[in-house]
Amino acid sequence: MKKGLKIFGIVILVLLIILIAAPFLFKGSIEKFIKKEINTNLNAKVTWEEVDLSLIRNFPNASVGLQQLLVENNAPFEGDTLFYAEQLNLKMGLMQLFKNEGYSLDEIVLDESLIYLKTNAEGKSNWDIAKATETEAETADETPSSFQLDLKHYEINNSEIIFIDEPGQMAFSLKELNHSGDGDFSTSVFNLRTHTDSKVSFDLEGTNYLSDNFIQLDAELGIDLDQMKFSFLENEAIINQLALRFDGYYQMNEKDAEMDIKFNTPTSDFKNFLALIPEAYASDLDGVETSGNFDVDGHVYGKLDDTYIPKLDIKMKSAEASFKYPDLPKKVEDIFMDIHILNTSGLVEDTEVKISDARFRIDQDQFAGKLNLSRLTTNMLIDLDANGTLNLSKLNQVYPIEGDLDLNGKLLADINAKFDMNAIEEERYQDVQTKGNLKLTGFHYQDEDLPNAYDISEAAVQFSTNNIQLKKLNMKTGSTDLSAQGKLDNLMGFILSDQALKGRFTASSKNFAISDFMMKSENENEESDANENSKNNTQTEEAIKIPDFLDIVLDFSADKVLYDQMQLSQATGSMIIKNETASLQDVSANLFGGSITLNGNVSTRNAQPDFDMKLGLAQIDISQITQQMELAKSLAPIASALIGKVSTNIDLSGNLTADFSPVLSSLVGGALAQINRATVDPKQTPLLNQLNQNLDIIDFSKIKLDGLSTQASFKNGKIDVKPFDFEVEGVNVKVNGSHNFDASMNYTLDFKIPAKKFGSSLGSQLAKLSGEDVNQMYVNLPVTVGGSFTNPKLQMNMQNAVQELTAQIIEKQKQQVKDKVEDRIKDEVGDLLGGNNKNESDSTKTKEKEKVEDQVKDILGGMFGGKKGDKK
């Protein structure tokens, strides 16, 4: 007994040693085999982090795991991920490890994988990575594969499959995919039991048909691999919460495929219809009370190839149905539906969709409609009929609408339209048969993203063959009122064919506030101390866009228009919106105590919005424009110190910020301004204040600017001012230079100062000159202005000016002395020649000469601050 136990223990120990040691013994050969198969068969880059071999995990079978398996494409999809799996587990019989080559797999499990399938615009597919050999076709039936799939079970867990077909403009995806199957793939005929659940999305030609719709399928398939025929035995699918039962078969032939599949709803409860609505909109159907029926009965049969699609006969019907959500006060009643999707030829263009009856009632309000669509893929024919009354305030009382949506009003409709798509696309609107009326009254709409609620007291639209007339529109939002009427030429083309919406309207308003239509920004409510974050958020905020689908003309008039801090009155003009550009024509208004005219455009066609405007401003109050218009401060450094009226013409173009403010550094253009009348308060601007302090001989509050004209040009953020003159207290000043929109300055002010302005410092010297001489004497004083508007830097040399003027005075006084000496000499000579006393002594003559010399010294001494007889 002990000996037997000993032998058994030794056997167990050996088995354990084998189980532990086997992975080290066989791991290399298995990894080598996998690499060989990949290099032989695949044209792609395949890598993995680690290969794990275990004999314990699935004993008595061996388990091979590849961690972080990645398959990357070569050209033309180089670098794209075709396949990734966090874990790929392969299960095989234990004896398979002892083969030199040719492994047979019993089970495959794929965890957290991504499969990305794509066909590019050239029609090449990224999954076409199998290597082709010259002898492939000849040896396909002769050479057995070294890798066999004798599967009994497979799984795909928490994975995603994405398929994109660029030529077909189609995108399909399965998210959170879980799929498993059990069957015997070692035989050609067997039953396969599968389970699938996932979220499916589907887009075709830019239209989203499914968006994360939940699907579940439990199916047993009869598999015949010899005939490639798959029969549906016991199957039930769930789309969102709609259950479908189906049977039939699908068979793949050499050149086409055949199918004959029938499906229907296992129950006829109306809740089946609500289940078709995506869960994001349908909310929870638990507790919803329903009555009536909803039945789906479909048949898909025939062949599928490059020419034909399966024939279709799908019917959805409901009669005398109703539903009520448990937490809502009202219900929808008298629901009737009759929908038929039919194709009897197998040609896709012959598919028809007929909604011969669709109606419902909420309280006493009834609404009904019919719609027939035919020739879907060629020249689609549309026949629409809708009529009834809909009280919008009751929508969120019968159906759970997410968000704080405040909606009221009554919609009355009686519309009939019949047309084909060619008439729309070719703009043959005379062939579009439309008639009827649409009226909206008492409409109220409030959304959390809107600054104010929208209230439309009445809107009336009349449909006719040629156009659609907006007969009346009266609305209010915030402090804004608006009345409009006009016409739309191609509403159907806009709705059905991506054409621009064309029309012309006339609008009027007593008070129109631009802020009432501006959406709230995300960083509007941020703390004031988070300036840097707010700045960054503003830079990344999406720019305002002029819609590219508008092609309209709007003639408008408004008693008052409010924009930012500006208030316009009696505004009239036209706006043409087309190609993402808003063009303003002949706009005029009263503004800043004067009037303004405007022509130009704003465009958002480029990545950064831009504008090109011509503005005429007449008799504008200078203080108002500088306080309310930032651009005015940038154009004139001393504008804020002026009180009066100005007229100007501005030709301006440049870029705009996301909120349509001018980018000052980008401005190009020019301005011509004329000051009609103005007074100056130097204390209101640092530049004039400093000039007043440094040139105390001039009172700059007495600048004469009436009638002054200035001209400037803008480019690269710089404003070049054409030289101009002005006068202040008899002083002529010539201005030359430029400044930048960043408020930096580079100016030269040339002052021509009369000598009499220096009376306090040169009074005694000037007093010795005649009034006529003083009035003719001037001195030039150049002043260089740098720095900025708020911190100007002045450079001037008053001492040089005084010295220059002193030199002029000395020169003038010398000339006066010379003139006196000459006159005296003439007098003396005259006396001598005229018979004066010849016996006069020489000493007397000498005294007269010294007297003249003393007078000259007195004058010169006075100019240099000395006195006659001063000691040196």
Give the integer Cα–Cα distance in Å for 745 and 673.
19
pLDDT band at 788, cuts 50/70/90? Answer: confident
pLDDT band at 564, cuts 50/70/90? Answer: low
Average pLDDT, the chain: 78
pLDDT at 617 over 80: yes
pLDDT at 538 over 70: no
3-class SS shares of the chain: helix, strand, coil, % to 5? 25, 50, 25
251-277 pLDDT, tens digit per residue, is 988 888 899 999 988 877 887 787 676
> Considering only 196-200, 257-261, 670-674, 775-779, which range has the smallest mean pLDDT?
775-779
* Residue closest to 133 by CA, chosen among 255, 33, 43, 34: 43
User: Which DSSP letter does residue 42 get?
Assistant: B
Residue 606, pLDDT score: 86
471-514 pLDDT, tens digit per residue, is 999 999 889 999 999 988 777 677 666 777 788 999 999 998 87
Q: Using DSSP bridges, classify how beta strands 81-93 and 332-343 pair: parallel, antiparallel or unpaired.
A: unpaired
Residue 645, pLDDT score: 87
* Residue closest to 252 by CA, chosen among 271, 224, 291, 219: 224
Residue 29, pLDDT score: 60
Residue 94, pLDDT score: 54
279 or 562: which leads in pLDDT: 562
Per-residue pLDDT, averaged over 356-366, amounts to: 93
Which segment, 46-50, 274-278, 452-456, 537-541, is predicted with the most confidence on average?
Answer: 452-456
- Tell me how many helices (H) and strands (E) the chain has: 15, 39
Give the integer Cα–Cα distance in Å for 197 and 176.
8
Residue 528, pLDDT score: 39
Structure tokens at 20: 């532990």
457-467 pLDDT, tens digit per residue, is 999 989 887 67
Per-residue pLDDT, averaged over 28-33, amounts to: 61
Give the integer Cα–Cα distance in Å for 472 and 477.
17
Q: Cα dist. 101→30, 64, 144, 190 in Å? A: 9, 15, 12, 28
Give the integer Cα–Cα distance in Å for 100 and 32.
11
The secondary structure of 426-446 as a DSSP string is TT-GGG-EEEEEEEEEEEEEE
Give the integer Cα–Cα distance in Å for 335 and 318.
7
CA 236 to chain centre: 45
pLDDT band at 348, cuts 50/70/90? Answer: confident
Residues 6 or more apart whose CB falls under 8 angstroms from that of 743 comprise 634, 637, 788, 789, 790
828-868 pLDDT, tens digit per residue, is 556 555 555 545 555 555 555 555 445 444 443 443 344 43
Per-residue pLDDT, averaged over 344-358, amounts to: 91
Helix (H) or strand (E) holding 549: none
CB-CB contact of 331 with 360 (8 Å): no
* Residue closest to 613 by CA, chosen among 667, 658, 568: 667
pLDDT at 359 over 60: yes
Per-residue pLDDT, averaged over 351-365, amounts to: 92
151-169 pLDDT, tens digit per residue, is 788 899 999 999 998 887 8
pLDDT at 64 over 80: no
698-743 pLDDT, tens digit per residue, is 888 888 888 888 888 888 888 888 998 888 888 888 999 998 888 8
Please give the sequence-ordered ranges of beta strands (E in DSSP) within 537-694, or none if there are none: 550-563, 566-578, 581-591, 594-603, 610-621, 642-655, 668-680
Residue 178, pLDDT score: 93
Which segment, 595-599, 767-771, 780-784, is predicted with the most confidence on average?
Answer: 595-599
Residues 6 or more apart whose CB falls under 8 angstroms from that of 103 comprise 30, 33, 92, 96, 146, 147, 148
Q: Cα dist. 175→198, 199, 578 in Å? A: 6, 5, 41
Burial of 9 (0-12, 13-18, 19+ CB in 10 A): exposed
User: Which DSSP letter does residue 255 get?
Assistant: S
Residue 4, pLDDT score: 43
Per-residue pLDDT, averaged over 668-682, amounts to: 84
pLDDT at 529 over 50: no
CB-CB contact of 491 with 465 (8 Å): no
**Beta-bridge partners for 83:** 71, 115
Give the integer Cα–Cα distance in Å for 592 and 624.
6
Q: What is the dihedral of CA 631, 637, 643, 647, to 10 degrees?
A: -50
Give the integer Cα–Cα distance in Å for 84 and 72.
9
Structure tokens at 708: 């002054």
pLDDT at 342 over 90: yes
857 or 560: which leads in pLDDT: 560
* Residue closest to 717 by CA, chosen among 673, 659, 654, 658: 654
Q: Quick check: pTM over 0.95?
A: no
Give helix 842-863 / helix 759-767 axis angle, nearest 10°. Answer: 170
Omega before 782 cis (within 30°)?
A: no
